[in-house]
């Protein structure tokens, strides 16, 4: 079987890559991603650029050096807005230049349950091929409107267990508060930053009930779950997802550089197949069971 489509790719139009202009510009990355896709036999990809319309506190040492100027003096990160027009022009140019490739438009919408009105001012969400929903920040309390932080910041302030549990308990609110996204991205996002030096290796069994509850909630909304496989494969994700009634998965490398495109896809496809998921007709389709 050839590669399946990559449903989560970033280019210069994502603020954390460096943007299309300026001193750390990543101009030309979309073009380079398409060239790389053709070279490795990747038939389809979705450019899901970061769409963040909120601000959150962050420590400069938690950010790449070139992104630190985005942090204000009082320690608040305000991501620059997506240039939707420039992005869509760039997609059109690439579709013209790489006719053999299926190129989908999209965003990775951060905290979609909090930011829908603001996001709709930036881009016409309904006109995009793919809207991925992500939780990159966690509320500090369960009160509505609570301040939020990224998991890797919270690991320094909270017991590690609490970061994972608080993140998962936010998922039902995220599902209920937004109708815009069709794929829930990287349910294992806080696991990426798990403090293994202090805690030892991450043990998913410690959080099995909470992960399963979150997955049941996602499955109940007919959304797809992303296997975010640029990093380590986690077989318990498709296993528990299937067991909790999940029907559809999207494969995402979360590539921010060309060498990560479709990273680990062959192993991830074999893993998904093992748990009963099968490809659709088109390479960009979700796999389903
Ligand atoms: Zn993300
Ligand atoms: Zn991403």
Lowest-confidence segment of 60-64, 82-86, 185-189, 241-245 by average pLDDT = 60-64
Dig out the tokens for 5 from the structure.
């489509």
Name the residues around ion ligand 1, CB cutoff 5 A. Answer: 134
What's residue 67's pLDDT? 87
- In this prediction, residue 222 has a pLDDT band, given cuts at 50, 70 and 90, of very high
What's residue 20's pLDDT? 84
pLDDT above 90 for 193: yes
Mean pLDDT of the chain: 95
User: What is the whole-number distance in angstroms between the Cα of residue 213 and the centre of ligand 1?
Assistant: 21
What's residue 239's pLDDT? 98
User: What is the whole-number distance in angstroms between the Cα of residue 50 and the centre of ligand 2?
Assistant: 7
User: What is the whole-number distance in angstroms between the Cα of residue 189 and the centre of ligand 1?
Assistant: 7
User: What is the whole-number distance in angstroms between the Cα of residue 47 and the centre of ligand 2?
Assistant: 10
Helix (H) or strand (E) holding 82: none
Nearest to 3 by CA among 280, 269, 271: 269
User: What is the whole-number distance in angstroms between the Cα of residue 10 and the centre of ligand 1?
Assistant: 10
Do strands 148-149 and 138-139 pair parallel, antiparallel, or not at all (unpaired)?
antiparallel
- C-alpha distance from residue 12 to each of 24, 39, 83, 166, 172 (Å): 10, 20, 10, 32, 32
What's residue 65's pLDDT? 86
Backbone dihedral angles phi then psi of residue 33, each to the nearest 5 degrees:
-65, -40
Q: pLDDT tens digits, residue range 239-275?
A: 999 999 999 999 999 999 999 999 999 999 999 999 9
Name the residues around ion ligand 2, CB cutoff 5 A. Answer: 108, 254
pTM beyond 0.75, yes or no: yes
Percent of the chain with pLDDT over 90: 87
Do strands 148-149 and 183-184 pair parallel, antiparallel, or not at all (unpaired)?
unpaired
Judged by its nearest atom, the ligand closest to the C-alpha of residue 254 is: 2
User: What is the whole-number distance in angstroms between the Cα of residue 133 and the centre of ligand 1?
Assistant: 8
What's residue 284's pLDDT? 98
pLDDT above 90 for 220: yes
- In this prediction, residue 202 has a pLDDT band, given cuts at 50, 70 and 90, of very high
pLDDT above 90 for 226: yes
User: What is the whole-number distance in angstroms between the Cα of residue 181 and the centre of ligand 1?
Assistant: 13
Q: pLDDT tens digits, residue range 3-40?
A: 999 999 999 999 999 878 877 788 999 999 999 999 99
User: What is the whole-number distance in angstroms between the Cα of residue 257 and the centre of ligand 1?
Assistant: 14
User: What is the whole-number distance in angstroms between the Cα of residue 21 and the centre of ligand 1?
Assistant: 22
Q: Are 245 and 219 in contact (CB under 8 A)?
A: yes
User: What is the whole-number distance in angstroms between the Cα of residue 162 and the centre of ligand 1?
Assistant: 20
User: What is the whole-number distance in angstroms between the Cα of residue 7 and the centre of ligand 2?
Assistant: 10
- Rounded average pLDDT over 161-165: 98
Judged by its nearest atom, the ligand closest to the C-alpha of residue 136 is: 1
Chain centroid to CA 94: 22
Q: pLDDT tens digits, residue range 124-145?
A: 999 999 999 999 999 998 888 8
Q: Distance between CA atoms of 98 and 42, rounded to whole angstroms?
A: 12
User: What is the whole-number distance in angstroms between the Cα of residue 30 and the centre of ligand 2?
Assistant: 14
What's residue 19's pLDDT? 79
pLDDT above 90 for 230: no
Evaluated on CA atoms 67, 72, 78, 82, the torsion sign reads: negative
Report the number of secondary-structure helices (H) and strands (E) in the chain: 10, 12
Q: Distance between CA atoms of 102 and 9, rounded to whole angstroms?
A: 13
User: What is the whole-number distance in angstroms between the Cα of residue 110 and the centre of ligand 1?
Assistant: 8
Nearest to 137 by CA among 189, 177, 180, 66: 189
Helix (H) or strand (E) holding 66: none
């Amino acid at each position: 079987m050839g590669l399946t489509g990559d449903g989560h790719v970033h280019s210069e139009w994502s603020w954390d890559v460096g943007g299309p202009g300026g001193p750390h510009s990543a101009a030309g990355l979309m073009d380079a991603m398409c060239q790389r896709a053709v070279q490795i036999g990747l038939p389809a990809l979705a450019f899901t650029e970061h769409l963040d319309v909120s601000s959150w506190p962050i420590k400069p040492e938690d950010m790449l050096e070139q992104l630190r100027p985005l942090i204000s003096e009082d320690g608040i990160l305000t991501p620059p807005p997506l240039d939707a027009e420039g992005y869509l022009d760039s997609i059109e140019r690439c579709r013209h230049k790489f006719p053999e490739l299926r190129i989908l438009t999209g965003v990775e919408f951060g905290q979609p349950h909090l930011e829908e009105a603001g996001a709709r001012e930036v881009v016409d969400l309904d006109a995009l091929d793919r809207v991925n929903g992500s939780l990159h920040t966690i509320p500090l309390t369960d009160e509505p409107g609570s301040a939020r932080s990224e998991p890797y910041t919270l690991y320094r302030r909270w017991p590690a267990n609490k970061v994972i549990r608080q993140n998962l308990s936010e998922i039902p609110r995220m599902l209920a508060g937004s109708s815009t996204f069709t794929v829930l991205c990287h349910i294992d996002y806080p696991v990426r930053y798990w403090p293994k030096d202090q805690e030892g290796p991450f043990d998913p069994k410690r959080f099995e009930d909470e992960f399963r509850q979150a997955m049941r909630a996602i499955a109940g909304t007919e959304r797809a779950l992303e296997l975010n496989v640029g990093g380590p494969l986690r077989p318990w994700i498709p296993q528990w997802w299937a067991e909790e009634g999940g029907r559809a998965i999207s494969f995402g490398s979360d590539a921010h550089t060309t060498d990560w495109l479709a990273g680990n896809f062959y192993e991830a496809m074999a893993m998904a197949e093992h748990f009963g998921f099968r490809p659709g007709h088109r390479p960009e389709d979700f796999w389903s069971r």
